[in-house]
Structure 1
Amino acid sequence: MTRPSMPVGQIGDYEIKQLKIFKTVADCGGFSAAETELNISRSTISIHISNLESRLNLILCRRGRAGFSLTEEGAVVYDATVKLLGELENFRSTIHHLGSQLTGSLTVLFSDTISLDPRAGMPQVFRKFAKLASEVYLTSEVARMTEIERQVLSEEADIGFIPYHRSLDGLDYQHIYSDTCYLYCSKDNPLYSLDEEELSDEIIDGFPVAYAGMKTQENISGHLANMNLKATAYNYESRLALILSSRYIGYLPEHYARPYVEDGELKPVALDRRFYTLEIMAITKKTCSVNKVRSLFIKTMQDHYRQ
């Protein structure tokens, strides 16, 4: 039977110690198995667990002839303990970084316009990182998505920022923000003056298109499948130049195209159906090795986004 809940109050060093013992007991599957791991007697372990249960006013585990098991409340406390101890370790790691002079280098690669997109906040992240690691040599470059993936996997680069288009086993992905991309034409393009009801799919698909020129995720490929692909422009800047020539139409992120739309230079085509979403990701290599410089940059970046 669940006891009436009571305020927990302050969590101090003694409670942290008890929670660590509780976690070890749960991980080991019982008091006896935890004796060797903790290097304390079973009776001492039992006292710590009983005191923790009294402190939390909860029954955390069942022990007896039937064996050891966590109660429903114990399982919740276990998950919360894992999270708490993880946060404490992150805190210690951060303080360690702050208290030591980091040296070495960091290479950050960006696809297209991500580095200056306000939602990525890179100027602010770079400023905070440079203040914490003033002796680290920083390299920041723009590259194609596939090249960014290759360099991160080969550890030529430490972190990359790309639109998500596939999942590679050797990479970790962290979502940064989302982009909606619309189909645009320029003011001198014949499509510009047409009303929405006049913009049939047949007319749109017959007009020359400038596109990235690479295989990408299915929802984007579906939009291009029936279109008249006539020009390749991987970067948004070069694609924009082709669209502004009035000879081509093409997809651009709404955020990037907005100033040109507001100035009347561009117009979205078939706004209700010609669009797709890009998920912008930070990618790093899955590795067990410690890279303090990269870890500090990622921590600085995550702290900025949490704010």
Structure 2
Amino acid sequence: MKKDLKVSLGQVGDYEIRLLKVFEAVVESGGFSAAESELSIGRSTISTHIAKLEDRLNLRLCRRGRGGFSLTEEGIEVYELMKGLFSAMESFRSGVNALHVRLTGELRIIASDAIYMDPQSKLPEAIARFSEAAPDVNVLLDVKALSDIERMVLNDEADIGLIPFHRELTGLEYTQLYADHFHLYCSRAHPLYDTLPEELSLEAVLASKVVHAGIHTSPEVGAQLADMNKAAISYFYEARLAMILSGAYIGFMPDTYVEPYVAAGELRALAPEIKQYSLGVAAITRTHGRTNRARELFLSILNESDSSAPI
């Protein structure tokens, strides 16, 4: 009756692995003498190692003598089990090494609206490069309000946030990306649209109802809005643009966002020399947290962009 290897052997450690490696060389070389050159040790040392392995396993593995070298039934079975063990170890080693090359998991990117399609952000190009470099990573893209993005990154609900740079919160790191330029716009339907620039008074601009984001994004933005008729709030650019196009309101918008409407004659800038400001865009990540190689790769791709500008 075969002995129960699990009961006899117990835990397998480095010592047993070394003895099994000797056993493997002996079996595959066809005997002790033939294994000497393979192992670079003498026959007596090989014999001692095999004897120690047999004692450790409490099994006789091979026959040696005048009849030559041969495996016992237990030796054949141990050899097959050993090959399975070595194969599993190699798979484990290869898998761990692959983790240093292949990225898996999920990358969660949350952005303020308009940033995704801002030509300056070059996000489509960055996403394409990331997908090529890390094809096994599932990418989640979403749009949220500024305060929600900060909260989600701080709470590890998002890996990267893309926001207008307006303040620095403890617990967040900020990576400068580029700067958006804003002007004050009105639509063709607004009474001021057809006023010639030389006839347009600042008083008329300040008296017009303005739609704004409703949050404090920077001192410069606050100064621009301080003397204006703040009559409506709309955080997201898409909704704000709709209110401006209605002709009932004027409002500040990123130049790149409304460029097609300006080109089509649907919008015009009011007092462009006075009513303008720049607002930086930054990527935010948690200051402390688990290592995330997918996040670091995506940030490095963003940082390689030539579109960055001082915030």
TM-score (norm 1): 0.65
The residue that corresponds to 1:291 in the other structure is 292
1:123-142 equivalences in 2 (<5 Å): 123-142=124-143
- Is residue 177–residue 307 contact of structure 2 (8 Å, CA) maintained in 1? no
> Could you say which residue in structure 2 is the equivalent of 1:240?
241
- Give the conservation status (yes or no) of the 8 Å contact 1:98–1:132: no
State the partner residue of 1:276: 277
> Structure 1 residue 195: deviation in Å?
2.2
Question: Are the equivalent residues in 2 in contact too, given 1:173–1:282 (CA < 8 A)?
Answer: yes
Alpha-carbon distance in structure 1 between the residues aligned to 2:204 and 2:257? 25
Instruction: Measure, in 2, the Cα distance between the counterparts of 1:270 and 1:142.
Output: 31
The answer on whether the counterparts of 1:102 and 1:293 sit within 8 Å (CA) in structure 2 is: yes
Residue 155 of structure 1: aligned partner? 156
Deviations 1:145-192 (A, max 9, x none): 111111111111000111111111211111111111000011121111
Contact 1:97 1:296 in 2 (8 A): no
Corresponding position of 1:109: 110
C-alpha distance in 2 between matches for 1:97 and 1:296: 16
Instruction: Indicate the percent of aligned positions where both proteins have the same amino acid.
Output: 41
Report 1:175-186 matches (<5 A): 175-186=176-187
Map Cα deviations across residues 1-44 of structure 1 (whole Å, 9 max, x no partner). xxxxxxxxxxxxxxxxxxxxxxxxxxxxxxxxxxxxxxxxxxxx
**Structure 2 length normalisation: TM-score?**
0.64
Inter-CA distance 297–282: structure 2 relative to 1 (3 Å threshold): same
Could you say if the C-alpha distance between residues 275 and 306 of structure 1 is closer, same or farther in structure 2, counting changes exceeding 3 Å? closer
Which residue number in structure 1 is paired with residue 266 of structure 2?
265
Per-residue CA deviations over 1:189-248 (Å, capped at 9, x if unaligned) read 111121223322221111111111112211101111121111111111111111111111
- Deviation beyond 4 Å, 4+ runs, structure 1: 96-99, 304-307
Contact 1:210 1:239 in 2 (8 A): yes
Rg (Cα) greater in structure: 2
| Structure 2 unaligned blocks of 5 or more | 1-96
Shift in Å, 1:305 = 4.3
- CA deviations 1:86-107 (Å, max 9, x no partner) are xxxxxxxxxx889522221110
From the superposition, tell whether residues 184 and 122 of structure 1 become closer, same or farther in structure 2 (CA, over 3 Å): same
1:162–1:97 CA distance, 2 compared to 1 (3 A): farther
Q: Give the aligned partner of residue 252 of structure 2.
A: 251
Offset of 1:262 from its aligned partner? 1.0
Tell me the CA shift for residue 113 of structure 1.
0.9
Deviations for 1:125-162, whole angstroms, at most 9, x for unmatched residues? 11121122222121000111111111111111000111
Higher alpha-carbon deviation: 267-276 or 192-201: 192-201
Q: 2:216 maps to what in 1?
A: 215
Letter matched to residue 271 of structure 1: P
* Contact kept? 2:120, 2:307, Cα under 8 Å: no
Partner of 2:75 in structure 1?
A: none
Query: What is residue 145 of structure 1 aligned with on the other side?
Result: 146
How many residue pairs get aligned? The number is 212
Cα RMSD (Å): 2.0
Write the distance in 2 (CA, Å) between the matches of 1:112 and 1:125.
Answer: 17
Conserved 8 A contact 2:108-2:159: yes
Task: Indicate conservation of the 8 Å contact 2:121/2:307, yes or no.
Answer: no
